[in-house]
Amino acid sequence: MNGEVISDKQGVILIMAFIIGETSMETLGLQAEQNLWIVIILSISMGVPVMLIYARLHYLFPNKDLFDIIEFCLGKFIGKGIMLLFIWYMYDVTSNIVKNLSCFTITVTLNNTPMLIPIIVYMTLCAGVVLAGFDVIVRWTEFFYLYLLSS
């Protein structure tokens, strides 16, 4: 980030939008059928402690990002390994979301289009938003999140 600062409210909205977006694209819990409510409760009970840990780390290290905190707490060697795992996880989640969104687009509207075309379109759109800056992403997320809550 280039010194861009977001408010706590915007940070919470960004995290919640990520969680909603990721879980709406993944349908792993649907195999539980009538016991889906148990899956939801278990997911929340595992996710809330992780979110509390992130909040506590942010409170203890207010001027550091997550990568700096990991390197400070775990050392340079182990910290770099954990960071690589975290980056791999984000890459995996992002590629799954883009693939699922492209499959959805092809299934619903563009039946005879090769899979590569929607992937290129979505990745170009994402690259443009990233080049515009982090604060633009946060403001758009806040705008669409308010729309999501009102519907």
What is the mean predicted confidence (pLDDT) over 23-50?
72
pTM: 0.63
For residue 105, is it within any domain?
Answer: no
Give the integer Cα–Cα distance in Å for 102 and 121. 9
Count CA within 13 A, CB hemisphere, residue 7: 5
Q: Has residue 54 been placed in a domain?
A: yes
Q: What is the Cβ-side half-sphere exposure of residue 84, based on CA atoms within 13 angstroms?
A: 6
Q: Residue 2: pLDDT band by 50, 70, 90 thresholds?
A: low
- Find the mean pLDDT for residues 56-70: 84
Q: Report pLDDT digits (tens) over 12-30.
A: 777 777 776 666 656 666 6
Can you state the angle between helices 66-74 and 76-108, rounded to 10 degrees? 150
Burial label for 151, CB within 10 Å (0-12, 13-18, 19+), is: exposed
Q: Which residue did the predictor score with more confidence, 62 or 150?
A: 62
Give the chain's domain count: 1
Per-residue pLDDT at 117: 92
20 domain residue, yes or no? no
Measuring CA to CA, which residue among 86, 91, 94 is closest to residue 67?
A: 86
Lowest-confidence pick of 23-32, 61-70, 97-106, 128-137: 23-32
Q: What average pLDDT is seen over the chain?
A: 81
pLDDT score of 4 more than 60: yes
Q: Please check whether residue 81 lies inside any domain of the structure.
A: no
Residue 51 lies in a domain: yes
**Residue 78, pLDDT above cutoff 90:** yes
Whether 11 maps to a domain, the answer reads: no
* pLDDT score, position 142: 82
Structural domain containing residue 54: 30-60
Residue 81 above 90 pLDDT? Answer: yes
What is the reported pLDDT for 29? 61
| Mean pLDDT, residues 39-43 taken together | 77
